[in-house]
Chain A
Amino acid sequence: MKVLVAIKRVVDYNIQVRVKADGSNVDIDGVKMGINPFDENAIEEAIRLKEKGIVSEIVAVTIGGAANQDILRHALAMGADRAMLVETQETLHSLSVAKVLKAVVEREQPNLVLLGKQAIDDDAGQTGQMLAALLKLPQATYASQLTIEGNQATVVREIDGGTETLAVSLPAVITADLRLNEPRYVKLPNLMMARKKPLENVPLDSLNVSLTHNVQQLKVATPPARPAGIMVKDVNELLSKLRTHEGIIG
């Protein structure tokens, strides 16, 4: 069984990004970048399925400029077998990303597509569902547990207030939640070995995907800061302050 894992390069989750002075966009020049955390869960799950003998080949794919090769090398070092960079300088929104991935899926014919549930830069959380829709495949989002038997995946999904279990026939698109697994740490020798694994550059144009750009970002801004609060010295002072706000405590 072949698995395609789609990943994205994002600003490191510990970094608070800043808005450019002209409000045109965020300023990410020179900011530390890395693999989107949920996408790392997706890679880890693919590798675990391979270690169980269920999966035979893992292909990692991302879309963007040459700088994106670093996260593909990271995926290869974790245990992906080969990688593909769909090269473009354009910024693509979720629908366009899903259309590009559809073309990759049609080329690679995987039995399973794994992605993170959401990218922590645009926080859209749409690509997996859109890809499933375009491919007319079943979807299972926010997976916290994945079991594959024969041609069926059983997925425990995180929903509001609990979990839901779905059975989907393969091929299917599954998006990973944080609790699906704990991604392994990449050791230096694995990074060295990953250099020998195949990484293919595919120009976006060569995939013949027709993309529209119907969403424009007009401006960005920093949200208004909460007004500075005060420090209280003990519980009594805290309670007397809270009682100045009508109705919030009895």
Chain B
Amino acid sequence: MRTLIIAEHNGQHLNEQVARAVTAAQQWQQPVDVLIAAAQPDALAAQAAALQGISSVLVASDAALQHPTAEHLAEIIVPLAANYNVVLAAHSAFSKNVLPRVAALLDVNMLSDVLEIVNTNTYVRGIYAGNVLATVQSSDATQVLTVRGSKFAAAATGNAAGITTVAAPAAPVGSRWVAEAFNKSERPALTAAKVVVSGGRALGSADAFAQVIAPLADKLHAAIGASRAAVDAGYAPNDLQVGQTGVVVAPELYIAVGISGAIQHAYGMKDSKVVVAINQDPEAQIFKIADYGLVADLFEVVPQLTAAL
């Protein structure tokens, strides 16, 4: 049998997590194909074909795939799935919208946000905000899963896999894309950044958040993150939220500024290589998971740190 990877992209570029999904897919030791569903798939297909470890690229092309809906993608993927016993994608807002729909249409279960592939049907995944690791086994004929990208190295490039066209049924009626709004930023994406600087409720306002966090992030070429408390208080937009209900990151360096370190935040950053915590409260939970803790007034020391870099 074969493994099918559902590739996420923005119309021009493959998401960098696709290469990580390719590495995860090697665990089955069987041919791996990558599906590109796009309005203009040629450049994307070429990017996918270059990934080491894949056998072929499947291309489904339709004008409506400029802004694909989960319904449309499921219509494309489900007929293909007959040839595959594994369907997987890197875990993201894109894949967790689409793959459960695919799994249900195939009448199989799905494993979300898999951290480790133990064998061809057994996985380790986090439950209870990652405070517990569960080993789960699925006896379904088709294994449908999303994998945590940061747990798998990115596959190298240099391959020249074959490209095959597959059918793209028309988009189902009933669901229509209307608009999208991306937060414009010169910064690296949160999930891809080597350094993340995150702010919490202790910043006290959106202005303070911008004035304290942004200059440090600029100096470090870092992505900016936020705790759920900071997001709920309106200091930062929701897509910066790091944690159980936001994004999970694992950068080389994670700097938590004014973040208490609630369970649900720790879930999103505890796999970071080096964690720095700056907080005025010496009892803050964040110090328990930090490599370096500094008990201090953030408004004093963060500008100092920024100036010293």
Contact = CB atoms under 8 A, between A and B. Distances in A.
B274 A248 contact: yes
A169 B104 CA distance: 21
B133 interface: yes
Nearest to B70: A139
A229 B195 contact: no
A158 B103 CA distance: 22
Interface in A198-243: 214-223, 226, 228-236, 238-239, 241-242
Given A120-B129, A238-B305, A242-B276, A144 B289 contact: no
Interface residues on B, range: 35 or more
A123 B263 contact: no
A34 interface: no
B110 A95 contact: yes
B218 interface: no
Interface in B197-241: 220, 228, 231-232, 238-239
B181 interface: yes
Nearest to B17: A160
B85 interface: no
A239 B305 contact: yes
Interface of B: 67, 69-71, 74, 92-94, 96-98, 100-105, 107-113, 122, 125-140, 172-183, 189, 191, 194-195, 220, 228, 231-232, 238-239, 244-245, 247, 252-253, 263-264, 270, 273-276, 287-296, 301, 304-305, 308-309
Nearest to B97: A141
A238 B276 CA distance: 9
Top 7 closest pairs, chain A to chain B, by CB: A129-B100, A130-B104, A133-B104, A126-B100, A162-B182, A138-B175, A165-B178
Contact of B112 (A13, A126, A235, A249): A126
Contacts of B295: 231
Contact of A133 (B100, B113, B232, B263): B100
21 contacts: A16-B131, A125-B96, A133-B105, A139-B101, A154-B178, A161-B183, A163-B181, A164-B67, A168-B174, A172-B174, A216-B136, A219-B134, A220-B134, A226-B289, A232-B294, A239-B308, A242-B274, A245-B273, A245-B274, A248-B195, A250-B220
A11 B238 contact: no
B127 A121 contact: yes
B133 A221 contact: yes
Contacts of A181: none
B270 A161 contact: no
B94 A166 contact: no
A229 B256 CA distance: 14
B253 to A, nearest CB: 4
A133 B74 contact: yes
A95 B175 CA distance: 22
Given A26-B132, A139-B175, A217-B135, A130 B100 contact: yes
Interface in A97-125: 98, 118, 120-125
Instruction: Report, as a range, how many residues of chain A touch the other chain.
Output: 35 or more
Contacts of B94: 159-160
Given A218-B136, A247-B252, A178 B245 contact: yes
A167 B176 contact: yes
B265 to A, nearest CB: 12
Given A162-B239, A166-B176, A248-B274, A217 B134 contact: yes
Contact of A124 (B67, B112, B189): B112
B104 A249 contact: no
Contacts of A222: 131-133
A193 B118 CA distance: 51
A242 B238 contact: no
Contacts of A160: 92-94, 189, 191, 239, 247
A123 B113 contact: yes
Contacts of B239: 158-162
A43 B263 CA distance: 25
Contacts of A94: 100, 109-110
B104 A95 contact: yes
B183 A132 contact: no
Contacts of A214: 108-109, 138-140
A127 B67 CA distance: 23
Best-buried of B100, B110, B294 by chain A (most CB within 10 Å): B100
